[in-house]
Amino acid sequence: MSPSGPEGVVFDLDGVLVDSESVWDEARRQLTEETGGQWHPDATREMMGMSSIEWSRYMHERLDVPMAPEEISEAVVERVAAIYRKRLPLLPGAVEAVRSLSERWPLAVASSSNRPVIDLVLELAVIADAFAVTVSSEEVGRGKPAPDVYLEAARRLGVAPDRCLAIEDSASGIRAADAAGMTVIAVPNREFPPDPESLRQAAKVLISLEELTPELVLEVGGTSRD
């Protein structure tokens, strides 16, 4: 990426803008236990980054939830949406970072969340207008760590992937953005931090989005991926 910085910025949603892993975890765990399935200790980490198609199939096949994957996905989304409508767990600095960066660059969301959840979060946070593009991994072939959702976000922005900067929190997300050719800023998930190898793929590691400013984006965007 040249010293002039990126031409587009792509945000992950879960773990970056909203503190949501525990919400999804609880919704999936409750559904599993209430339907007679078997929750596994590694289920949360294994489902991180999966598209809704992938994690609902995982719950059906690996956690023995006796529902069709499509029904599982709908049931979990209903539970997550109900929690968000009561209280949206925005992370510190999320709205401010989105607003400040949107004044300089076109923004996109590239998320593993279902389309209704993405739309609901941005609506409740009153930042939907800040994003030119939003993409759910259920709309592409593969979930993270495959690069599909990031490549689609860049395509819809009309910006080459190597001219985009991605903001990610998880190992699968960092690997997905890096595989798409994007420069990555990592804001590590506190509950499920990225492994050191994945974290090394990030050009910059922040403690929170409160550190994410246009000046930092220009600085990181001028660094080499090599």
Active site amino acids:
12, 14
Structure tokens at 196: 């050191």
Structure tokens at 91: 């992370």
8 A C-beta contact, residue 76 and residue 56: yes
Within 13 Å, how many C-alpha atoms sit on residue 48's CB side?
24
Whether the ω angle into residue 106 lies within 30 degrees of 0, i.e. cis, is: no
Q: How far apart are CA 56 and CA 42, in angstroms?
A: 15
Q: How far apart are CA 30 and CA 38, in angstroms?
A: 11
Q: How far apart are CA 166 and CA 204, in angstroms?
A: 11
Determine the residue type at 51. Answer: S
Question: How far from chain centre, in Å, is Cα 65?
Answer: 25
